[in-house]
């Protein structure tokens, strides 16, 4: 097996990130709370990680801008179009499984 070079690895990781973001943009039926309950992260987490990486690289990106990169539109617009009220079961599962910081 040939391992990718550092540059190739970065390109592959970027491609995987773009594909994940595209997938999440297309799956608006999947709510963030469901992602949190099943995988321990959601679109907001992904946008926060993107923001952290931008800041680590000296880029002056805002939280709203990083969310728009992940959501493909302003966050408030996405919420109005796609976010549903969490059910009691979803909220209980979130409280049990929420990441501990």
The parent domain of residue 87 ranges over 43-95
* pLDDT tens column, 33-89: 999 999 999 999 999 999 999 999 999 999 999 999 999 999 999 999 999 999 999
Whose CA is closest to 75, among 87, 86, 63, 60? Answer: 63
Query: Is 90 part of any domain?
Result: yes
Query: Is 9 part of any domain?
Result: no
Query: Is 48 part of any domain?
Result: yes
Query: Is 79 part of any domain?
Result: yes
CATH number at 70 reads 1.10.3340.10
Q: pTM value?
A: 0.89
């Amino acid at each position: 097996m040939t391992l990718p070079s550092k540059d190739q690895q970065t390109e592959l990781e970027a491609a995987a990130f773009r594909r994940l973001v595209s997938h999440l943009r297309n799956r608006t039926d999947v709510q963030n709370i469901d992602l949190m309950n099943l995988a321990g992260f959601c679109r907001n987490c992904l946008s926060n990680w993107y923001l952290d990486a931008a800041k680590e690289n000296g880029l002056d990106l805002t939280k709203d801008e990083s969310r728009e990169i992940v959501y493909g539109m302003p966050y408030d617009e996405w919420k109005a179009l796609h976010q549903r009220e969490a059910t009691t079961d979803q909220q209980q599962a979130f409280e049990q499984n929420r990441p501990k910081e």
